[in-house]
Structure 1
Amino acid sequence: MVKKTFTVIDELGIHTRPASILVQAASQYNAEVNIEYNGRSINLKSIVGVMSLGVPHGAQIQIAAVGSDANKAIQGIEEALKNEGLGGPCEVI
């Protein structure tokens, strides 16, 4: 399992557009990818699940991936977060 923590920098948090971007990024990989926030872990390939978290600006989220391409999945999601101005890394676990 690979995990990485990010801080959400989008002023509106993870609303529809950012959630869609994250789901698209995660869906490119075979790994099981979850987003964790406020004690809940949700499949990052589910737009409804991601939206249900209600992640606000400034929140810390953790992305966890398990599978043969878990490292690539984390890197791809991190790149999507940076490119879209959604979040930045906090620490590698």
Structure 2
Amino acid sequence: MAENINSIKQKFIIRNKLGLHARPAAMFVKLANTFQSEVWVEFEDDEVNGKSIMGLMMLAAPSGSIIYVSAKGEDAEKALLALGNLVEGGFEEN
């Protein structure tokens, strides 16, 4: 029996002034961990687990940069919508 698991990916722009530093990374991870889906974040040539604060901070994505967020699992669409709103909303910093 084949499993029907959603896997989606979307592009977002880092809009807050200081980029993906500790506070926004913590907010992203906290939100990502509310979903069952796997979450991955890509920036330039690096891809990290979106549920790892150290991984996200190592990306060091500055303001204005493009990241790709992917989610795989039953709640992937909800996860991507919520995480996208957080990123595009400037991590509540603007």
TM superposition score normalised by structure 2: 0.85
Structure 2: how far apart are the matches of 1:53 and 1:39?
10
Bigger Rg, which one = 2
Q: Is the 8 A contact 1:32 1:66 kept in 2?
A: yes
Q: Is the 8 A contact 1:7 1:59 kept in 2?
A: yes
Q: Is the 8 A contact 2:10 2:68 kept in 1?
A: yes
> CA offset at residue 39 of structure 1?
1.4
Structure 2: how far apart are the matches of 1:39 and 1:67?
24
Matched, 1:50 2:59: no
Q: Secondary structure at the match of 2:13?
A: strand
Name the one with the larger strand percent.
Answer: 1
- Which amino acid letter does the alignment assign opposite residue 84 of structure 1? F
TM superposition score normalised by structure 1: 0.86
Report how many residues are paired.
Answer: 86
Q: Which runs of 4+ in 1 moved over 4 A?
A: none
> CA offset at residue 40 of structure 1?
1.0
Q: Is the 8 A contact 1:9 1:85 kept in 2?
A: no
Structure 2: how far apart are the matches of 1:9 and 1:83?
5
Percent identical:
34
**Residues 51-87 of structure 1, C-alpha deviations (whole Å, 9 max, x = no match):** 011111110000000111100110111222227346x
Matched, 1:37 2:43: yes
Q: Structure 2 unaligned runs (5+)?
A: 1-6
